[in-house]
Structure 1
Amino acid sequence: MENKLTTLRSAIEENLSRSGYNLASFAKVSGLNRGSLSAILHGHPPKPVSLGQLDTLTEALGYPEGWFYPLYVDECFSEEKISRRRVEPFLVRCAITGRQQCIDESISRIMEYQKPLDVIYSVAEKLFACGKIQESKPFYKIIVEHEQDGYSERMAISQYRLFKALGTVADTEDMLRGVIAFEPFRGRLPEHLQLDGLLKLANVCYSLHRWDDMGKYADELRSLATGTYREQLRQKAGRRSGELQLLRPLVLYYGHGHLMKATSLTKQGKYEEAITFTNLYADLGWFEVLDEEGKRLVDAFRSYAVGNRYTLELLKGNITVLSDYIAYLEEYPSEVLAGLLSILEAANRFGFSADHVLERFSKEMTGFDRFKDYINIDRIYRLGYQLAAYYLERGQAQRGVTYILQCLKTAVLLNSARDMIECVALFEANRGQASRQQLQRYSELIRGLGPQKEPAEEGRLLSGTTERSI
């Protein structure tokens, strides 16, 4: 049935005859209306077949779903126009079931008609709305490649959808390309998508260590969230309807704008400025228009602020907060990775022992591999690197080199040139202390340098954790 040797109607009639059905008996078996079947097969002109009718008919004949799809393409087109009522659900179904040949033929024919992108964009949005994110990407890419109005909302939304579709664990080069492609379109989105797009931009820049860019997008997110909040208050005071339908509660965007600004400043060593922004999301109880989810988010931001204040104090050299920080991490186990990273960074910078901390959280560290997003793979990498430096400094060379090799493996899998160079430099500085087996493993990893995919399954250092997002 894959070869288009016949028409849809002749194929149906042939199968009915072969199975011993007439219209009356098949109508009874399939549940389809006999009159509709007659109009489809014998009408002048024949009645079009809906996708639902075709699927019902296919099942009644005992064929797998999509058996007649290659013949259905003609049903979606006439000389004058495209039947959107048929072609859109057909393309959605083909995308979900992996019928690429049917998609390619349909798209080729759609592009011959006027306003073809209207149909393709509608299909992309339907797929995205039902959670078929990866399946929607090829359709959005067609919009991006063929849309002549670069300032259209459709173009901006297509770029946004492609950016949002970045995998949970992505090649760093893919992430950078995604930022470059989406960044010019962020301000052309509807406001509720602007908020979400800026949040994603800031998160991806965190993974790429682009601290200035992260701070810039955090500033834009704070400004837009503040303006949106004021507009919501005006609408509430004026008892006006038409409240903006956001993807997440507004307090999430507002709080994250300040949290990410503080994070970008922390990474640049601007600790006092970071404390100022940390204080701004520490207590958001004044925020109006809070539902139950919003109240939960306020509590979560309050908790994050406590942990991040400990981080800032440690990075400033105030080691007296260490015991309190440990108690905090015991109360909030989801923060253990972030906390250990901060503690190890401070221990390496100021020379204090963190052995008791690592022993206390050794069990939690073994469970990190349940987390798989790209932000936390980066956290895991950086914790491994800090552990390597920590043990090398304390004369535990074999242990330190083991962590270097684990870090290098993750850097290769993530295709992060920055991290690969960092690991190679640290290994070469300590090559003389590596065992024969470690030297061999290092050689194997060096030979494998280059773009790799699907790091989620292999690139584990210690395991993973959750980014401080809600």
Structure 2
Amino acid sequence: MTEGWIILELDLNGINADSLVQMLKASFTLENWDGILQIADKLYSEINHFYSINQRESTDGQKESDFGLKRSIVYYFGFSMCLKGIALEKMGRYEEARECISKYEELGWINDMDAGGWAEVEYYSEIARANRYVIDLNEGNTEVLPDYLVFLRHNYEELLPGMTHILESAIKHEYNVDEVLIEFKEQIESMEEYYETKRNIRYYLDFIYLKAKYYSLNGNIYDAINILSYAMASSVKFKDDTGFRKSAALFEKLRNQTTPEQLDKYLGLMEQILV
């Protein structure tokens, strides 16, 4: 059982594809990895069914049904397996995660794509390459880090997720990434408002928390505690219970090493929550 979750079989019958996409996004925010596995499989099955119908209609010379989808079929194939792969990676099931990547790294087999569909093919091909680097880093293969950094320098929108993956790997395998944090510091800070959106808040708060954890493990307690205070305040601001719980737990672990000013700031935030 995944810690913090009771695994239940979700009733996903009758839920349309775009609603399943929203459920996947919500489950990702809540870090409900088991839920993602179920929802992603349902979405993939649903889209595969739609695609099969479209192919029969095309063969018979009929107009293809759109099934009320908001995006191209390529998007749903890619998104379902991408989120499933991320969930499996988070659960440490790396080989299964690689199998998911193989299902969305080359989606050019899909027939009758327009320009938007081909753009999705290219996007998921890039994401697949990045996610292979992530799995390698999680397994302790730090030799891929320079290549992953090259990818991040050329894919600005992936910078924040990438930095969370790098910090997770550095913490797990105990290696130094100070120079990486310094290199991207100004870029991340300059796009703070962009990250503070509903789409990116999970990565943003994870990055702050992991940065604090990394600093604490490397003896920089003072900065770690200051970052945790900011992480908790941000979690309260964005009503993110997951981020708050993790940051508060780490703060309590480091509580005996806080300065009086840092402890006062923490207690002040707790008072605000109780109001």
Normalised by the length of structure 1, the TM-score is: 0.54
2:24 matched to 1:198? no
Q: What CA distance in whole angstroms lies between the structure 2 residues aligned with 1:338 and 1:222?
A: 24
Give aligned pairs, total.
Answer: 265
1:422 counterpart residue number:
246
1:103 counterpart residue number:
none
1:407 counterpart residue number:
231
Q: Report SS of the residue matched to 2:273.
A: coil
Q: Report SS of the residue matched to 1:188.
A: coil
Aligned partner of 1:300: which letter? Answer: Y
Aligned partner of 1:312: which letter? Answer: I
Q: What CA distance in whole angstroms lies between the structure 1 residues aligned with 2:199 and 2:179?
A: 27
Structure 2: give runs of 5+ residues left out of the alignment: 1-8
2:74 matched to 1:251? yes
Change (3 A) 1:354 1:249: same
Q: Which has the larger radius of gyration?
A: 1
Offset at residue 249 of structure 1 (A): 0.5
Q: What CA distance in whole angstroms lies between the structure 2 residues aligned with 1:426 and 1:197?
A: 35
Mapped contact 1:284–1:298 kept (Cα < 8 A): yes
2:258 counterpart residue number:
434
1:208 counterpart residue number:
30
Mapped contact 1:391–1:400 kept (Cα < 8 A): yes
For 1:283-432, list aligned pairs within 5 A: 283-366=106-189, 367-432=191-256
2:14 counterpart residue number:
188
Aligned partner of 2:179: which letter? Answer: H
Offset at residue 403 of structure 1 (A): 1.1
Q: What CA distance in whole angstroms lies between the structure 1 residues aligned with 2:70 and 2:171?
A: 41
Q: What CA distance in whole angstroms lies between the structure 2 residues aligned with 1:267 and 1:260?
A: 11
Mapped contact 2:195–2:204 kept (Cα < 8 A): no
Q: What CA distance in whole angstroms lies between the structure 2 residues aligned with 1:429 and 1:422?
A: 11
For 1:67-216, list aligned pairs within 5 A: 187-188=13-14, 194-216=16-38
1:115 counterpart residue number:
none
Aligned partner of 2:78: which letter? Answer: G
- Write the deviation string for residues 326-385 of structure 1: whole angstroms up to 9, x where unpaired: 011011111100110000010011111101111121221112322343342111111111
Mapped contact 1:412–1:448 kept (Cα < 8 A): no
Mapped contact 1:202–1:215 kept (Cα < 8 A): no
Say what the alpha-carbon RMSD is for the aligned residues.
Answer: 1.9
2:62 counterpart residue number:
240
Mapped contact 2:12–2:42 kept (Cα < 8 A): no
Aligned partner of 1:378: which letter? Answer: R
Q: What CA distance in whole angstroms lies between the structure 1 residues aligned with 2:156 and 2:250?
A: 31
Change (3 A) 1:358 1:196: same
Mapped contact 1:222–1:253 kept (Cα < 8 A): yes
Mapped contact 1:204–1:375 kept (Cα < 8 A): no
Mapped contact 2:54–2:64 kept (Cα < 8 A): no
Mapped contact 1:206–1:375 kept (Cα < 8 A): no
Aligned partner of 1:226: which letter? Answer: N
Normalised by the length of structure 2, the TM-score is: 0.91
Q: What CA distance in whole angstroms lies between the structure 1 residues aligned with 2:107 and 2:64?
A: 25
Q: What CA distance in whole angstroms lies between the structure 2 residues aligned with 1:400 and 1:185?
A: 42
Offset at residue 407 of structure 1 (A): 1.3
Mapped contact 2:28–2:36 kept (Cα < 8 A): yes
Change (3 A) 1:372 1:431: closer
Q: Report SS of the residue matched to 1:395.
A: coil
Structure 1: give runs of 5+ residues left out of the alignment: 1-182, 452-470
1:265 counterpart residue number:
88
2:46 matched to 1:224? yes
